[in-house]
Structure 1
Amino acid sequence: MRVIVIGGTGTIGSAVVRLLSTRHDVVTVGHKRGTYQVDLASPDSITSLFKTIGTCDAVVSTAGIAKFASLDDLTYDDYFIGLKNKLMGQANLVRIGRPFVTNHGSFTLTSGVLSQEPMKGSCAISMANAGLEGFVRAAAIDLPRSLRVNVVSPPWVTETLIARGMDPSIGLPAETVAQCYLASVEGTMTGQVIDPRKHAGR
């Protein structure tokens, strides 16, 4: 299969690219790096990306940013960082990308554990993650041509925890998380929120 991986230069994205590349033809897309670049907050940029790359069998997104700050510190505009990028940016990959994905193809997006397990300072990102998961459940019902869509909801990854000087035991290695993206791309499931901790037997 020809698979586009957006966010393929990040920690999780790099692990996904390494895994998928052993089995599929992978096109790596980043914000500033990668074979191609895209700005998820810009529908025009997403449209240009698909027109440039052309037809594919699957789209994987491990990208998306959101503001991490306390409820008192978040401004109205701060919320829209995540809503425009992590939520609508990934939703637009599905909206805009549909004509470029072959019959029975798939989209695999990324939310995060903070949608179900919020922590102090996660209001904006928890909202974006939860919204994306709701979109995936509903979009799976509407998609034509047997197209599928799922979302992976990863916990903190070990590599990020180590880089931040935090306890790595509470996370999962990026390579373990990447297995969930492979399962979504190669499987038959749709409309699912995939928790890598359950996939890993945690």
Structure 2
Amino acid sequence: MRILVVGGKGTIGQAIVEKLKDKHELIIAGRTSGDVQVDLTSVASIEAMFNKVGHVDGIVNASGTAKFRLVEEMTPEDNLVAVQSKLLGQINLALIGQKYLRRNGSITLTTGVMKDDPVPGGASAAMANGGVQAFVKAAAIDFTQGIRINCVSPNVLVESYDKYQNSFKGFVPVPAERVAMAYVKSVEGKQTGQEYQVY
């Protein structure tokens, strides 16, 4: 299969690429790296990427940002970072990308543990994660042509735990390799409308 991996140079993205590269043709997309560049906060950029890449059998997103702020300190502008990137960016990737998916293709988006297990300063990220999960569940019943859509919700990673451990006190980090297997399940499996939680 021909699979587009957005965020393929990130920690999770690299693990996904490692699991898929031997069986599939991969196109790596990133904001500043990869085979093609894309800014998920820009509809025009997403459209330009697909115009360049063409038709694919799978779309995987392992990117998206949010600003960490305590709610009492958060401004609407702070919250907009997650809305434009992690929430609307991923939804727009699915809405535009569906036109470039071959029959029986799949879309895999990314949520995260914070919507189920809150951390200080994580309300904006949790909001975006919850919105993506709700979109995936509802969108799955609308797709025809055999198109499937799922999302993966990773815990904090072993590989980045040192950097984030103050925010994730008491969490048991998971290795990126284990998280990547959930994306493999979404791409190569048959399920749709699912959130694969890797906690």
Letter in 1 for 2:179: V
From 185, 190, 194, give the equivalent of 2:196: 194
Q: Partners in 2 of 1:161 and 1:98 — Cα distance?
A: 35
Q: Partners in 2 of 1:31 and 1:175 — Cα distance?
A: 23
The structural deviation recorded for 1:77 is 1.1
Letter in 2 for 1:186: E
1:167-195 deviations in Å (ceiling 9; x for gaps) = 89811110111000001000010000101
> Does 2:144 align with 1:140?
no
> Does 2:90 align with 1:104?
no
CA distance change for structure 1 residues 95 and 31 in 2, over 3 Å: closer, same or farther?
same
> Does 2:19 align with 1:19?
yes
Equivalent runs, 1:147-186 vs 2, <5 Å:
147-164=147-164, 170-186=172-188
The structural deviation recorded for 1:73 is 1.2
Q: Report if aligned partners of 1:56, 1:101 keep a CA contact under 8 Å in 2.
A: yes
The structural deviation recorded for 1:145 is 0.9
The aligned residue for residue 200 of structure 1 is none
Stretches of structure 2 that go unaligned for 5 or more consecutive residues are none
The structural deviation recorded for 1:72 is 1.2
Secondary structure of the residue aligned to 1:194 is: strand
Q: Partners in 2 of 1:168 and 1:26 — Cα distance?
A: 36
1:105-140 deviations in Å (ceiling 9; x for gaps) = 000000101111111111111000001100000111
1:73-110 deviations in Å (ceiling 9; x for gaps) = 11011111101110110001110011100011000000
The aligned residue for residue 91 of structure 1 is 91
The structural deviation recorded for 1:7 is 0.4
Aligned-pair RMSD on alpha carbons? 1.4
Q: TM-score, normalised by structure 2?
A: 0.95
Stretches of structure 1 that go unaligned for 5 or more consecutive residues are 198-202
Q: Report if aligned partners of 1:162, 1:168 keep a CA contact under 8 Å in 2.
A: no
Q: Partners in 1 of 2:116 and 2:138 — Cα distance?
A: 18
Q: Partners in 2 of 1:136 and 1:123 — Cα distance?
A: 20
